[in-house]
Amino acid sequence: QSALTQPPSASGSPGQSVTISCTGSSSDIGAYNFVSWYQQHPGKAPKIVIFEVHKRPLGVPNRFTGSKSGNTASLTISGLQTDDEADYYCSSSADSNNFVFGTGTKVTVL
Amino acid sequence: QLQLQASGPGLVKASETLSLICTVSGESFNGRTYYWAWIRQSPGRGLEWIGSFYSGRGSYFTSSLESRATISVDASKNQFSLKLDAVSAADTAVYYCARQRRTDFDFWGQGTLVTVSS
């Protein structure tokens, strides 16, 4: 199972928006509406910010939105804040009870 | 609040078995409600799902590790464990345990670094 493809980096100024893409295949993202996104600050464990493509866990601000089209999922962070600076990983269910993660994107707040 | 803590030897010799335990606290350990997973992260590979234990259904693993990995649960101790046989330098990583809902991982432990030495 190959890793999902994400851009290595993305950036924006405070208050702006940034969108991260996550490209898979018809065996993972394209087959299931089970895409999740995780935020990871340096030295910390990942934290879920989006599940089932577009749903937010309790406590995650609505500045985080998720979507999917075909084999590509996206995470948009609007109204960027300094605390949003972190690594972001997508994940998708895949065939045969598998899971696959993305390559990760480092978001920088300029 | 649910908490998970992975623990085990930080250094393992090549060709030997890596053994980690995840202790679950903060609420009743209920293997029938949730699944339990192991995930690792190395600088060269990012996050990698290792496998998951599904109560009543057994375990599932990523294809590249399924011949070497075992996950088991001890509900009486609120623990689940990972064993990875015949390790090599490529298995050096931070290992996380996580609670898995059916399609995502909603609670993660802090992670434990395992280095494989030659």
What pLDDT, in 10s, does the model give residues B80-105?
999 999 999 999 999 999 999 889 99
Do the chains contact at A57 and B106, CB–CB below 8 Å?
yes
Q: What is the model's pLDDT at position A89?
A: 98
Residues of A with CB under 8 A from a CB of B: 1, 3, 32, 34, 36, 38, 44-48, 51-52, 57, 89, 91, 93, 96-104
List the single residue in A44, A48, A103 with the smallest CB-CB distance to B104: A48
Q: Going by C-beta distance under 8 Å and a sequence separation of 6 or more, which residues neighbour residue B102?
A: B35
DSSP state for residue A5 in the 8-state scheme: B
Cα gap A86→B22, rounded to integer Å: 26
B29 pLDDT above the threshold of 90: no
User: What is the token pair recorded at A37?
Assistant: 């996104």
Q: Going by C-beta distance under 8 Å and a sequence separation of 6 or more, which residues neighbour residue A103?
A: A3, A4, A5, A6, A8, B46
pLDDT averaged over consecutive 10-residue blocks of chain A (110 residues)? 93 97 95 96 95 96 97 98 97 88 96
Mean of per-residue pLDDT scores for chain B: 91
- Looking at per-residue confidence, does B26 or B21 come out higher? B21
Q: What is the model's pLDDT at position A68?
A: 98
Q: What is the model's pLDDT at position B43?
A: 76
pLDDT tens-digit readout, B52-66? 998 778 899 999 999
Q: What is the model's pLDDT at position A76?
A: 98
User: What is the token pair recorded at A26?
Assistant: 């018809």
Q: What is the model's pLDDT at position B26?
A: 84
- Amino acid at the residue A6: Q
Q: What is the model's pLDDT at position B54?
A: 84
DSSP-derived pairing of the beta strands B18-25 and B11-13: unpaired
Cα gap A24→A87, rounded to integer Å: 19
- Among residues of chain B, what percentage have pLDDT more than 70? 93
Q: Which neighbouring-strand residues pair with B54?
A: B58
DSSP letters of B34-98?
-EEEEEEEETTTEEEEEEEEETTTEEEE-TTTTTTEEEEEEGGGTEEEEEE-S--GGG-EEEEEE
Cα gap B52→B80, rounded to integer Å: 10
| A:B CB pairs within 8 Å | 62
List the single residue in B63, B101, B108 with the smallest CB-CB distance to A45: B108
Q: What is the model's pLDDT at position B30?
A: 65
Nearest CA in chain A to B106: A48
List C-alpha distances in Å: A37 to A51, A97, B45: 7, 18, 17
Q: What is the model's pLDDT at position B44?
A: 64
Residue B31 binned pLDDT confidence (cut-offs 50, 70, 90)? low
B69 pLDDT above the threshold of 90: yes
Helix, strand or coil for residue B32? Answer: coil
Q: What is the model's pLDDT at position A57?
A: 96
Task: State the smallest CA–CA distance between residue B102 and chain A in angstroms.
Answer: 9
Cα gap B104→B98, rounded to integer Å: 10
Helix, strand or coil for residue A83? Answer: helix
